[in-house]
């Protein structure tokens, strides 16, 4: 029983199925230990966009106001996709490297510990 309901075998409407996003899918991105950004952010982005779009447009648009942003060494960044360790391919599309609808992409920047080392 997937819900207690008066109707037998009740099935709920999936409000956020990918078809509802007009060709986009939802991607969440979080910068670990940088809580000046209060929560991970959400983007609507086409599945056939290259990863470079995330790297060059979406991430700077969301996180560049942080004083440590300019100091990031992108070759040293540690990525996680849905909690699994991940190595992005800049030229491949999101779909090609398994970044699907409502996936969580996290990046960690060891050595950059947030404002005054506070994780902010």
56 contributes a contact to another protein by CB under 8 A = no
Q: CA nearest 43: which of 28, 32, 53? A: 28
Nearer to another protein, 15 or 91 (CB): 15
How far apart CA 93 and CA 54 sit, in angstroms, is: 10
Q: CA nearest 115: which of 32, 38, 34, 31? A: 34
83 contributes a contact to another protein by CB under 8 A = yes
120 contributes a contact to another protein by CB under 8 A = yes
Q: Check residue 65 and report its DSSP letter.
A: T
Q: CA nearest 73: which of 108, 116, 30, 49? A: 108
CB atoms within 10 A of CB 45: 20
Q: Which of residues 31-50 bind another protein (CB under 8 A)?
A: 32-33, 35-44
Nearer to another protein, 22 or 91 (CB): 22
Minimum gap (Å) between residue 24 Cβ and another protein? 7
116 contributes a contact to another protein by CB under 8 A = yes
Among 57, 82, 91, 94, binds another protein (CB under 8 A): 82
Minimum gap (Å) between residue 109 Cβ and another protein? 13
């Amino acid at each position: 029983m997937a819900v207690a309901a008066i109707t037998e075998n009740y099935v709920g409407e999936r409000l956020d199925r990918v078809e509802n996003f007009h060709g986009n899918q939802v991607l969440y991105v979080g910068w670990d230990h940088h809580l000046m950004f209060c929560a991970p952010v959400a983007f609507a982005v086409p599945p056939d966009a290259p990863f470079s779009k995330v790297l060059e447009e979406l991430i700077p648009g969301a996180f560049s106001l942080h004083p440590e942003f300019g100091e990031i060494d992108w070759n040293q960044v540690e990525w996680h996709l849905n909690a699994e360790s991940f190595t992005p391919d800049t030229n491949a599309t999101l779909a090609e490297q398994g970044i699907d609808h409502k996936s969580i992409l996290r990046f960690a920047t060891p050595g950059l510990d947030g404002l005054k080392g506070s994780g902010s």
